[in-house]
Amino acid sequence: MHIAEGFLPLEWCVVWYALAIPIVAYGIDRAQKLREREQGVMPLLAVTAAFIFVLSALKLPSVTGSCSHPTGTGLGVVLFGPSITAFLSIIVLLFQALLLAHGGITTLGANTVSMGIVGPAVGWLAYIAVRKMKVGLLTSGFVAAFFADLMTYVVTAGQLATAFPATKGGILLSFEAFFGIFAVTQVPLAIIEGITVALALKLLQEHGVAVEMWQPKGVSVSEA
Amino acid sequence: MKLEVTTILAVLLVISFFSLLALTTAIPKAEWGGADGQGMELIEQSLNYEPWANPIWEPPSGEVESLLFALQAAIGSLIIGYYFGILKGRKESEK
């Protein structure tokens, strides 16, 4: 999902930055308020970021004969919701852009929108939907992570397709090509990420962490 | 009961990881390059696109790159392990 440095035309870099900045800013604000209100939340925030660090460093082989990596945002989605996850994602993306030449500064906005915002937002909506249907926490966590991971790559394919429509066949044909490269590869990885998040949630629960208490107000579904 | 769910999930994780590794022998012709790289290659080749910016710094070799990726995973694992260590200690001192 990393669009490499300089690989998006300038106007698209601007568009994705413009979308990403306010949401990341909102996430930072929410994280700060959460920290002021709840003293015990900082270590859990750090662990959530660490989870993204670990999973997004693991490049795994997949069914398409190529390699890709999970995003690790699923845990953040379940614990804190999408805006804080956006904030944590941009930290990891910045690290990778500066030290690993993975992604880039010009494409940081676009990569934040896919991995940090739209992917997690879709995962979060899926999570709330299944949770409201009284599906258990672990299964719901799996669903959240699966969609957050997979949607990230669908968005990347969409971003590249809109920036580089095929001369014959347009955006749709481009999307098909990029979808084949990114999204198909990602399906098994999204499943693995789902299992990992379910395991992490189970372990947190076993150690007495109330995993659903940090979510944005009004979406508490802990009675389910 | 509690331990069982954790064990099942851990076993599932190990199995799925090794099935992905097994793929590399099942699909012998594949090159196992990164999907990111393939996407960028498609843009460069089919559209003759020249990236207009370059990374500020690039790892000088595959070795250095894997060092940094390992470091990224290690930092993350360290924090996660430290946190669960604290939780475990806290739980035990409550008993």
> What mean pLDDT comes out for the span A132-158?
97
Q: Which residue has the tokens 């915002």?
A: A117
Name the minimum distance, in Å, from the CA of A30 to any CA of chain B: 22
Contact (CB, 8 A) for A188 and A70: no
Residues from chain B contacting residue A177 (CB–CB below 8 Å)? 42
Can you give the residue ranges of every domain in chain B? 1-52, 60-95
Flag whether the pTM goes above 0.90: yes
Under 8 Å CB-to-CB from A70, ≥6 apart: which residues? Answer: A55, A56, A58, A60, A149, A189, A190, A192, A193, A196
CB-CB under 8 Å, B68 with A98: no
> What mean pLDDT comes out for the span B41-47?
92
Q: What is the pLDDT of residues A20-41, one digit of tens each?
A: 999 999 999 999 999 999 888 9
Name the minimum distance, in Å, from the CA of A178 to any CA of chain B: 6
Residues from chain B contacting residue A105 (CB–CB below 8 Å)? 53, 56
Helices (H), B1-95: 2-26, 35-47, 62-94
Judge whether residue A222 has pLDDT over 50.
no
Residues from chain B contacting residue A97 (CB–CB below 8 Å)? 55
Under 8 Å CB-to-CB from A155, ≥6 apart: which residues? Answer: A1, A113, A114, A118, A119
pLDDT tier at A223, thresholds 50, 70, 90: very low
Contact (CB, 8 A) for A131 and A140: yes
Under 8 Å CB-to-CB from A173, ≥6 apart: which residues? Answer: A165, A166
Judge whether residue B5 has pLDDT over 70.
yes
Q: Hey, CA dihedral for B32, A154, A82, A93, is it positive or negative?
A: positive
pLDDT tier at A224, thresholds 50, 70, 90: very low
- Strands of chain A, DSSP E: 60-61, 67-68
In 3D space, the residue among A67, A101, A52 whose CA is nearest the CA of residue B68 turns out to be A101
| Domains of chain A by start residue, with CATH | 10-206 (1.10.1760.20)
CB-CB under 8 Å, A62 with B23: yes
CB-CB under 8 Å, B52 with A54: no
Q: What is the pLDDT of residues A152-202, one digit of tens each?
A: 999 999 999 999 999 888 999 999 999 999 999 999 999 999 999 999 999
pLDDT more than 70, % of chain A: 96
In 3D space, the residue among A103, A64, A54 whose CA is nearest the CA of residue A184 turns out to be A64
Which amino acid would we find at residue A110?
A
Contact (CB, 8 A) for A78 and A148: no
Tokens linked to A147:
């969609």
Name the burial class of residue A123, with classes exposed (0-12), middle (13-18) and buried (19+) by CB atoms within 10 angstroms of its CB.
buried
The answer to ipTM > 0.90 is yes
Q: Over chain A, what is the mean pLDDT? A: 94
Residues from chain B contacting residue A5 (CB–CB below 8 Å)? 51, 53-55
CB-CB under 8 Å, A178 with B88: no
How far apart are the C-alpha atoms of B40 and A106, rounded to whole Å? 15
Q: What is the pLDDT of residues B51-83, one digit of tens each?
A: 999 999 999 999 999 999 999 999 999 999 999
Judge whether residue A216 has pLDDT over 50.
yes
3-state secondary structure (DSSP) of residue B34: strand
CB-CB under 8 Å, A156 with B76: no
Judge whether residue A139 has pLDDT over 90.
yes
Judge whether residue B91 has pLDDT over 90.
no
Name the minimum distance, in Å, from the CA of A154 to any CA of chain B: 13
CB-CB under 8 Å, A104 with B55: yes
CB-CB under 8 Å, A100 with B69: yes
Please name the residues between 166 and 185 in chain A that touch chain B, using a CB distance below 8 Å.
177-178, 181-182, 185
Judge whether residue B18 has pLDDT over 60.
yes
